[in-house]
Amino acid sequence: MREALIARVEGHGRIEVKVKKGKLQSIKLDILTPPRLFEKLIVGRHFSEVPTIVSRICSICSASHRVVSVMALEDALGIKVPEEVELMRRLLLHGGVLESHALHLFLLALPDYYRKASFVELSKDAPELVTLGFRLKGLGNRIQETVGGRAIHQITPVVGGMSAFPPAGELESIAGEAEVLMERTYLTLKDVPSLELTPLAQVENWVSLSGREYEYTGGDILINGRERLRVEDFSRRFHESSLPPSYVKHTLLDNEKTFMVGALARVLNNRSKLKGRAGSFCRELGLTRQKSTFMNNLAQAVELLFCLERVSWIVEKLLKNREWSEEGIVVDFTPRAGRGVAAIEAPRGLLLHRYSLDDRGYVLDGDIVTPTALNLSEMERTLRDMAGHLLREGVRELTPSLEMLVRAFDPCISCSVHLLEV
């Protein structure tokens, strides 16, 4: 039996491989981050406190959790927010994706591509690569700080609007930095060597949101580029099962199929909507033809370019035709009983929040479905396929390749600990 704590992922996870006489007996991905029971913590709390609590599910996805919880609560309360509020939240989410992808791709995954143990080692041989990674990550954090009030556990998105707007000069400076980084990021990423890994784990099913544009909010759920499902109908096709003693529940599509969510699923479902540099880079890479799990890293590279282009676009749109004020916008509403749901694309994939409220606005129950939990069964399936293959090829040291595979999913393990049966 071999076990290894997976390094260079967010949170604590372990792969447990049982091998007997050179044959694979079993393989399991253990999520070791203990349960924190978030869906229970919010019961009996006022809706206004919910975003503050649930953003603490995960530090790296805190902007996603905060924004989607606000959207689900607004759905329950029948609130529509003005366009500039929506744009400001979208800008925040793009900041979150930039920070998360830059951290994962440059600092956690790329050391594998250069056969280095960590970004510290990588910085000795390829300092420009690590510097660029930190600069992209820094821009993502700057957006989250400027728009959200803090890089982690943001402050401004509230039910009904945004509690404050950033100074216009700060937004212009963010757009400027995004433009500066565009060309440099493209030139750097196109020269990243490819991983030599056989066999490449294949994506069989993939799931993401899909709307009119390439976006992290809005639209329906799209399965394998073909089948559409409304967000409120999610639990008709996706079911959870609990496999003890893991703290995470497994989710299957139609009770049998594992599937992938995240940057690659988004690119596979929405590639025709990718314009500009991101679109041409996506075609150059050919990642939609190969459908390899490892291509998730490169799908993140495409999305880094997408976010840089989009950030400038959103800032321009926000600042146009508007007398700028740093005062927030929160629309008037009265609490009422209701149920609400919202889904967004977090950096690691589909994230869904559902709440029901009593007539004074206190939470009756909540349900949170996170991308890492959705990916768990697919991670185990591809691990099994890959371990079996490596053993047949007579490879003795499985750990590095298996770790690399898990890392390609960019699991965010603190996210994956609080699923509730519905």
Q: What is the binding site for other proteins (CB under 8 A)?
A: 5, 7-12, 33-41, 45-46, 49, 52-53, 56-60, 62, 103, 107-108, 117-120, 123, 130-131, 134-135, 137-138, 141, 149-153, 155-156, 158, 163-164, 242, 244-245, 247, 327-328, 414, 418-421
Contact 106, 139 (CB under 8 A): no
Residue with Cβ nearer other proteins (11 or 219): 11
CB of 205 to other proteins, least distance (A): 25
Question: Cα 89 vs. chain centroid, distance in angstroms?
Answer: 16
CB of 105 to other proteins, least distance (A): 14
CB of 270 to other proteins, least distance (A): 28
CB of 244 to other proteins, least distance (A): 3
Residue with Cβ nearer other proteins (119 or 216): 119
CB of 135 to other proteins, least distance (A): 8
Measured distance CA(398)–CA(403) in Å, rounded: 9
Residue with Cβ nearer other proteins (123 or 270): 123
Structure tokens at 156: 């401004």
Instruction: Read off the amino acid at residue 332.
Output: D
Measured distance CA(154)–CA(201) in Å, rounded: 36
Residue with Cβ nearer other proteins (147 or 302): 147
CB of 246 to other proteins, least distance (A): 8
CB of 81 to other proteins, least distance (A): 15
Residue with Cβ nearer other proteins (52 or 224): 52
Residue with Cβ nearer other proteins (94 or 249): 249
Q: How far is CA 126 from CA 130, 257, 291, in A?
A: 7, 41, 29
CB of 382 to other proteins, least distance (A): 22
> How many other CB atoms sit within 10 Å of the CB of residue 283?
13
Residue with Cβ nearer other proteins (35 or 286): 35
Measured distance CA(365)–CA(127) in Å, rounded: 49
For residue 245, cis peptide bond before it (omega within 30 degrees of 0): yes
CB of 375 to other proteins, least distance (A): 18
Phi (first) and psi of residue 202, to 5 degrees: -100, 135
DSSP 286-342: THHHH-BTTHHHHHHHHHHHHHHHHHHHHHHHHHTT-----EEEE-------EEEEE
> How many other CB atoms sit within 10 Å of the CB of residue 401?
18
Q: Which of 102, 47, 39, 398 is nearest to 240 (CA)?
A: 39
Contact 212, 271 (CB under 8 A): no
How buried is 20 (Cβ within 10 angstroms: 0-12 exposed, 13-18 middle, 19+ buried)? exposed
146: region left, alpha or beta (phi > 0 left; psi from -120 to 50 alpha): alpha
Instruction: Read off the amino acid at residue 265.
Output: A
CB of 175 to other proteins, least distance (A): 19
Residue with Cβ nearer other proteins (52 or 280): 52
Residue with Cβ nearer other proteins (104 or 271): 104
Q: Which of 280, 279, 251, 273 is nearest to 416 (CA)?
A: 251
CB of 115 to other proteins, least distance (A): 14
**Type and span of the H or E element at 25:** strand 23-31
Residue with Cβ nearer other proteins (188 or 269): 188
Residue with Cβ nearer other proteins (393 or 421): 421
Measured distance CA(89)–CA(159) in Å, rounded: 12
